[in-house]
Amino acid sequence: MRSPFRPDVGPDRALLDDHRRLVGSLQRRGLLRGGLSLGALTMLTGCDLTSSKSVQDALLAISGLNDEVQALLFDPTKLAPTYPASMVLKPAKFNAYYDVDKVKPVDGASWKLELGGLIADKTPWNVGQIAALPENEMVIRHVCVEGWDYIGQWSGVRLSTFLQRVGADTRAKYVAFRTADDYPSSIDMATALHPQTLLATKYAGETLADPFGFPLRLRMATKLGYKNPKWITAIEVTNTYSGGYWEKRGFNWFAGI
């Protein structure tokens, strides 16, 4: 019988062969199209896939449960695990769809957060105004679909507090984000209102460093790494689905941990 995916070469092929059934099931369900090479999977995840476990995690992330089922399973009152400050990794572990030396720092002095959609007061915010909002802190695990993770300490205003402050319609379905590096993202309202969803301005008690999203990034304890946009420039509340950077490349949208 023919292999359900295009045989790749050498060790790459062995890594995919380990997961032949999972790849086949994703193809049958229309979640993956055509042949799959390790190179293509690496493109999908934006992560280095060098072990059998990391390949499996990447495939499982694509597989997921569908968004509606995951939204139903999501308990808005259930808290994700937190950890002692002694476990915090310093500095944090960087990832993006490009290398760290390609990060273009955002100028905090001219930066503005724009608001759109179903929000009563769309006046833009500056860095000082965001800093004056009530601050929450959480020590949580960051999980990237590549198969690595780390414990990080994040501070900033709860997204729920911010949405209330600007008069957002929290009955809307989605909160969408735009970023300085063209990494659009969007999340379900239940997760937006979860107490462990922060608009983070600090890591390990200090202002976010440029690679980690200065001056403002999303940090959620309940979702995978790629759902946490860095360098946010705009927030929109909407009933229109807009997906996100990796979601447009085949990744699951709900992406709960």
Asked if 94 is part of the footprint of ligand MTE (rule: CB under 6 A), the reply reads: yes
What is the three-state SS of 30-52? CCCCCCCCHHHHHHHHCCCCCCH
| Subset of 85-124 contacting Mo ion (CB under 5 A) | 95
* Calpha distance 225→210 (Å, rounded): 17
Candidate ranges 59-67, 83-91, 193-201, 221-229; the one touching ligand MTE (CB under 6 A)? 221-229
Q: How far is the CB of 1 from ligand MTE (least distance, A)?
A: 35
Which residues are within 8 A (CB) of 41 and not within 5 positions of it... i.e. 6 or more apart?
16, 49, 55, 58, 59
Asked if 144 is part of the footprint of Mo ion (rule: CB under 5 A), the reply reads: yes
Q: Is 137 helix (H, G, I), strand (E, B) or coil?
A: strand
Q: How far is the CB of 95 from ligand MTE (least distance, A)?
A: 4
Strands 114-117 and 232-238: parallel
Q: How far is the CB of 14 from Mo ion (least distance, A)?
A: 24
234 beta partners: 114, 178
| Subset of 145-204 contacting ligand MTE (CB under 6 A) | 179, 181, 183
Closest to ligand MTE by CB, 174 vs 183, is 183
For residue 60, the tally of other CB atoms under 10 A from its CB is 15
Binding mask 109-148 for ligand MTE (x = CB under 6 A): ---------------------------------x-x----
CA 102, 106, 107, 110 torsion-angle sign: positive
Residues that bind Mo ion in the complex, under the rule CB under 5 A: 95, 144, 225-226
